[in-house]
Amino acid sequence: MIEQAPFGRTGHLSSRVIFGAAALGAMSDERAYATLELVVAAGVNHLDTAWSYGRAEEAMRPWLSEYRSRVFLASKTRERNGRLAREGLEDSLRRLGVDQLDLIQLHNLVEPDEWQTAFSADGAVAALAAARDEGLVRHVGITGHGLRIPAMHLRSLREFDFDSVLFPLNFSLMQSAAYEADVNDLLDLCATRGVAVQTIKSIARGRWASGYEGPRYSWYEPLRDAAAIDRAVRYVLGREGLFLNSTSDANALPLVLDAAASAHIGDIPDDAQMQADSDEFAITALFDGGELERI
């Protein structure tokens, strides 16, 4: 069974794997229901979705109508304007068929102009804080992609006391000394404040090769080898205080769940093992030079 840990200061014991509901975005209601049954049976009790994940929120609604109380439910908004962020939150509640979210997150808050808008008097941060005070949500967090995001999360946490952060973490990304330093600074601050730390892109192999014509269920190519996925998952879950959000490629989900079931704190593959996987499977960093994926 997948270990649970306090999700920051929220008071919730969350499974250390969080189900990334982007995997449901193009699924039928029936397949989405079965997928949710699979992850919950494996011990997952924390679901993460977003208004922008296709029809994921609608696909979750039938399952949530029966089992809402069994899970910590999170969603996201891309809106930076306060009125639009509030409208998006209300629409997510309607699509999910629930009265309250456990967590609403500002999705990919990194660009300076968007950051200024979000933190303005009539911006999304103030609007979501007001929604929290009204009881529509219980907690407010921030997410992001790319090499700049740990540093931007630090900036955001200086302005507002967010309950959670989310950023990419895997071996290839941590080979950047600057990125590793920013991540460590962010982890130190989050530990001090009791901010929950979520990670993404744990099993990313790299960007799709030019000319690839097969099915794509995420914007990057995931690893497919079970042993490599096991090591990639343990690279994250071997670290205390981290949660791993599963990939949007549902085909890899059973392997991630299997790996997580045997992962425990302190069991981190060494750099030689991780480098060997990088060499064998041609793993490359998803971002370089501060590049940002708008996803």
Q: What is the CATH number of domain 4-209+216-280?
A: 3.20.20.100
Q: What is the DSSP code (8-state) at residue 241?
A: T
Residue 293 has pLDDT above 50, yes or no: no
Residue 159 has pLDDT above 90, yes or no: yes
| 127 token code pair | 């609007």
Closest residue by Cα to residue 57 from 67, 46, 47, 66: 47
Residue type at position 230: D
- Kindly give the interhelix angle for 29-41 and 253-261, rounded to the nearest 10 degrees: 10
d(CA 189, CA 8): 12
The pLDDT tens digits of the residues spanning 186-205 come to 999 999 999 999 999 999 89
Residue 290 has pLDDT above 60, yes or no: no
225-242: average pLDDT: 97
pLDDT band at 220 (very low <50, low <70, confident <90, very high): confident
Q: What is the DSSP code (8-state) at residue 123?
A: B
155-172: average pLDDT: 97
Our CA angle for 4, 199, 243, nearest 5°, is 5
Task: Please provide residue 288's backbone torsions phi and psi, each rounded to the nearest 5 degrees.
Answer: -150, 150
Question: How buried is residue 41: exposed, middle or buried, by Cβ count under 10 Å (0-12/13-18/19+)?
Answer: exposed
Residue 221 has pLDDT above 90, yes or no: no
Please state, as a whole number, how many other Cβ atoms lie within 10 Å of the Cβ of residue 103: 25
197-233 burial, b if ≥16 CB within 10 A, otherwise e? bbbbbbbbbbeeeeeeeeeebbebbbbeeeebbbbbb
The pLDDT tens digits of the residues spanning 33-66 come to 999 999 999 999 999 999 988 899 999 999 999 9
Rounded to two decimals, what is the model's pTM? 0.94
Residue 289 has pLDDT above 70, yes or no: no
pLDDT at 217: 66
Q: Which of 6-15, 157-166, 207-216, 229-238 has the lowest mean pLDDT?
A: 207-216
Instruction: For CA atoms 68, 72, 78, 83, give the dihedral sign.
Output: positive
d(CA 226, CA 237): 16
pLDDT at 249: 84
Sequence-distant (≥ 6) Cβ neighbours of residue 133 within 8 angstroms: none
Residue 214 has pLDDT above 70, yes or no: no
Q: Where are the domains of the chain?
A: 4-209+216-280
d(CA 8, CA 242): 10
What region does 97 belong to: left with phi over 0, alpha with psi -120 to 50, or beta? left
Residue type at position 205: R
CB 203 within 8 A of CB 256: yes
pLDDT at 213: 67
pLDDT at 68: 97
Mean pLDDT of the chain: 93
pLDDT band at 168 (very low <50, low <70, confident <90, very high): very high
What region does 241 belong to: left with phi over 0, alpha with psi -120 to 50, or beta? left
What region does 101 belong to: left with phi over 0, alpha with psi -120 to 50, or beta? beta
